[in-house]
Amino acid sequence: MPVAHILGFPRIGAQRELKTAVEAHWRGALDEAGLHEAARALRRRHWQQQRDAGLDFVTVGDFAFYDHLHNLTALVGASPARFGVGPSPGLADYFAMARGTPEQPALAMKKWFDTNYHYLVPELAADTRFALNRDWLLPEVREAQALGHRIKVVLPGPLTWLWLGEAEAGLDKLALLSLLLNVYWVLLAELKTLGVEWAQLDEPILSLDLPADWRQAFVTSYGELAGAGPQLLLATYFGDVSEHAAMLRALPLAGLHLDLVRAPQQLAQFVDEWPQDRVLSLGIVDGRNLWRTDLAAALTTLHAAQAALGERLWIATSCSLQHVPTDLRLERRLEPRIRNWMAFAVQKLDELALLKRALRDGEGSVWRELHVAASAIADRRRAPSTQVAAVRARVAALKPEHARRATPFATRHVAQQAQLRLPKLPTTTIGSFPQTDEIRAARAACKAGTLDAADYRTAMQAEIRSVVERQEALGIDVLVHGEPERNDMVEYFGEQLDGYTFTQNGWVQSYGSRCVKPPVIHGDVSRPCAMTVEWSTYAQSLTDRPMKGMLSGPLTMLFWSFVRDDLPKREVALQLALALRDEVVDLEAAGIRIIQIDEPTIREGLPLKQADRPAYLEWAVQAFRITASGVRDETQIHTHMCYSEFNDILPAIAAMDADVITIETSRARMKLLDAFADFRYPNDIGPGLYDIHSPRVPTREEMTALLDKALAVLPADRLWINPDCGLKTRGWPETEAALTRMVATARAARATL
Ligand code: GLN
Ligand code: ZN
């Protein structure tokens, strides 16, 4: 009979209890003992839920106060020397490294593979040494055992931890491997002493393009660790690992986990001739999305696998459930029909248990539950909202010319300049201005129904008027309306588009105590009516200077949402592109001459493997171009991207063919621009001239130095002047002070051209 387990559970709590406790602790309102008690309560609840559902193990080790990779860093005693915390960090040290101290900046944060979760980057030096800090894991193991659970311990694997670390110059990270393995070895041995039967080591880097020496490192590492402690389950996820099939089969492991949601095709490479003494764990329930599993389809796959594997078959979630919200039962406002198509983490436990019973006792034993699940899937399939004929027809009718401006940039540029008459080095901002308490209060009151729509509009218009006046006084050339009406750059548009819905408690951890509640794309997307035209035209009516219309792009709308899993992402992107294209066209018709389409996320969709990237970039660029190409030559299209490693996707960024791109550069001191210059990026660029992430007002000299750097590598008539993005998080005094200097810097530079 198959074993059912999960790779990990969301740790934040269904109502973000962990966030509440951690932030109270940071404020000094909850002491360490209180924080530990809150954590214990959450773990206890989550383990009990796994057990109640009927899973064979509860998973221990997936809890973290901030980040599970950082927990491993603490567990193996690899605190960077610059924090001076020594080899045995306590909780305060752990948080100091995560959040920074007055003397030391925090550890860097990076996106966990292709998810929106961010991990803390380990810092590796030639003299990094390791020491086992039992307190960072063993108490949890004992805690679970004391509660009478049968447990499987999960840890990031040594190679994934090393790979994700940032090495000091000249260091080959693999040089640290054998020291690290010593600590794993001791740890595994102690887990065995404690009676732990299974340890799951997560090695998602197997889904990346791995160099040969790293592949070889798997052979040596797992050869060494195999006998150390509990039986080892090596977990892969987020991609296809079949290129490593021979190597993985030869490792002396007790089991291997495969992600069959992302890469169902890889099963064939493993299931035949799978060694008799090994478990194969099949991740068939999606850990990345909140839809119900098609249990009938899953059972078809699993029956076949069971025939080949017998007792060696395990069933599981594709990856940790940390990427999905916790409990659908808390959603009381979702439309019941759509809610019935969903399964959050707790519901996914039940799905696994059901699959297990169907495999063990036959489908007849659970026919009622299977029937309920099948009707939900069938209902979703035939729901009118999931296949709107008009939307499908529009996408089907797309022609290459929809994704092409009428003329090349050089021609458009002349037409735009004739109309806009901008000075050299034109100044602008990225869109938002400080979101004051009054703005937030008005928005909340409007949502709660205590402020009626007309009063809300008056309040927002007053804010827009003041923002326009301030920009005119500052002497900025291209104005923005300030986005006071927007809670968030995706939710704001999602609320106005058909095909979107919103949860009340669908939180997932983004980093540390920060959680996001992504909107849900459940059906075909279309735009019932204009979304921003009224605000933008109002703002334009207040000034003779050009007012930028401000939209979120199709990729951002896609990647910052939970996306339907019954349609390829490309199709959803094209639907979004057409909806946003209509908005662009309407803005133009209403007299808006410059429209910015924010696209900070093009990199987020980038497939983990090189070979899959060109196909993705092609549709990503196509979606942007469809959005941007419905307008006349005279209308200037801007795009904006946040900090990013751009270098390898510059051709795609150029292919988006925005007339102007603004990018975040100041923190990297314009290094990014070299890449644009080397690539001879053809259109206009606005590199961020100052960092808005701190209230500190940069000096004229600093801005001038950055501008000089930009002027050194790019032609002056291609350059715009703007800050980095995110002014909504700042206060007005520093914003106005910094922008005053920015405008002065631009004027002084113009005089020298
Ligand atoms: N227009 C948005 C703003 O300025 C862009 C946000 C972003 O880049 N993520 O806030
Ligand atoms: Zn940005």
Ligand 1 within 6 A of CB of 489 = yes
Choosing from 480, 722, 725 the residue with most ligand 1 atoms within 8 A of its CB, the one to mutate for a pocket test is: 725
Q: Average pLDDT for residues 77-104, to the nearest whole number?
A: 94
pLDDT in tens, 280-332: 999 999 999 999 999 999 999 999 999 999 999 999 999 999 999 999 999 99
End-to-end CA, the chain: 77
pLDDT higher than 80, residue 669: no
Which ligand is located closest to the Cα atom of residue 429?
A: 1
DSSP-assigned states of every residue in 519-556: -EEEEEEE-SS-SSHHHHHHHHHT-SS-BEEEEE-HHH
Largest interatomic CA distance in the chain: 83
The CA 283 to ligand 2 mean position distance, Å, reads 35
Q: Average pLDDT for residues 482-498, to the nearest whole number?
A: 95
Which residue(s) pair with 123 in the sheet?
Answer: 166
pLDDT higher than 90, residue 672: no
Ligand 1 within 6 A of CB of 728 = yes
- Per the CB < 8 A criterion, the answer to whether 456 and 438 are in contact is no
pLDDT of residue 671: 78
Q: Which one has a higher pLDDT value, 356 or 678?
A: 356
**How far, in Å, CA of 645 to CA of 625, rounded?**
21
Which one-letter amino acid corresponds to residue 515?
C
pLDDT higher than 80, residue 56: yes
Q: Which residue has its alpha carbon closest to ligand 1 atom 2?
A: 431
pLDDT of residue 708: 94
**How far, in Å, CA of 232 to CA of 255, rounded?**
6
Which ligand is located closest to the Cα atom of residue 638?
A: 1
The CA 721 to ligand 2 mean position distance, Å, reads 15
Binding residues for Zn(2+): 640, 642, 664, 725
**How far, in Å, CA of 77 to CA of 161, rounded?**
13
pLDDT of residue 218: 98
| Rg of the chain taking only CA atoms, in angstroms | 27
Report percent pLDDT > 90 for the chain.
93
Q: Average pLDDT for residues 225-254, to the nearest whole number?
A: 97
Mean predicted lDDT score pLDDT of the chain: 96
Ligand 1 within 6 A of CB of 642 = yes
Ligand 1 within 6 A of CB of 68 = no
Q: Which residue has its alpha carbon closest to ligand 1 atom 9?
A: 600
pLDDT of residue 644: 65
Helices marked H in 251-388: 267-271, 295-309, 336-339, 345-361, 367-382
The CA 117 to ligand 1 mean position distance, Å, reads 19
Catalytic residue among 36, 371, 402, 693: 693
* DSSP conformation class of 568: -
Choosing from 487, 532, 640 the residue with most ligand 1 atoms within 8 A of its CB, the one to mutate for a pocket test is: 640
pLDDT higher than 70, residue 278: yes
Which ligand is located closest to the Cα atom of residue 556?
A: 1
Choosing from 432, 596, 730 the residue with most ligand 1 atoms within 8 A of its CB, the one to mutate for a pocket test is: 432
Q: Average pLDDT for residues 692-710, to the nearest whole number?
A: 91
The class (CATH top level) of 425-496+531-752 is alpha beta
- Residue 693 bears catalytic tag: yes
Q: Which residue has its alpha carbon closest to ligand 1 atom 1?
A: 431
Binding residues for L-methionine: 430-432, 483, 598
Going by C-alpha positions, the residue among 695, 699, 698, 697 that lies closest to residue 729 is 695
- Per the CB < 8 A criterion, the answer to whether 537 and 592 are in contact is yes
Going by C-alpha positions, the residue among 118, 109, 106 that lies closest to residue 82 is 106
Q: In the structure encoding, which two tokens stand for residue 749, read together?
A: 């530079």
Ligand 1 within 6 A of CB of 248 = no
pLDDT higher than 80, residue 416: yes
Ligand 1 within 6 A of CB of 726 = yes
* Helix (H) or strand (E) segment spanning residue 572: helix 569-589
Q: Average pLDDT for residues 700-722, to the nearest whole number?
A: 94
ipTM of the complex in this document: 0.97
Ligand 1 within 6 A of CB of 640 = yes
**How far, in Å, CA of 35 to CA of 326, rounded?**
20
**Which is the closest atom of ligand 1 to the Cα of 550?**
1
Q: Average pLDDT for residues 710-736, to the nearest whole number?
A: 94
Three-class SS of residue 702?
Answer: helix
pLDDT of residue 251: 96
Ligand 1 within 6 A of CB of 598 = yes
The CA 406 to ligand 2 mean position distance, Å, reads 28
The CA 490 to ligand 2 mean position distance, Å, reads 13
- Per the CB < 8 A criterion, the answer to whether 56 and 360 are in contact is no
**Which is the closest atom of ligand 1 to the Cα of 726?**
10
Which ligand is located closest to the Cα atom of residue 728?
A: 1
Domain with CATH 3.20.20.210 in the chain: 3-384, 425-496+531-752
Ligand 1 within 6 A of CB of 288 = no
Residue 470 buriedness (CB in 10 A; 0-12 / 13-18 / 19+): middle
Q: Which residues contact 514 (CB under 8 A, 6 or more apart)?
A: 19
**How far, in Å, CA of 626 to CA of 656, rounded?**
10
Ligand 1 within 6 A of CB of 597 = no
pLDDT higher than 80, residue 199: yes
pLDDT of residue 695: 84
- 3-384 placed in CATH 3.20.20.210: yes
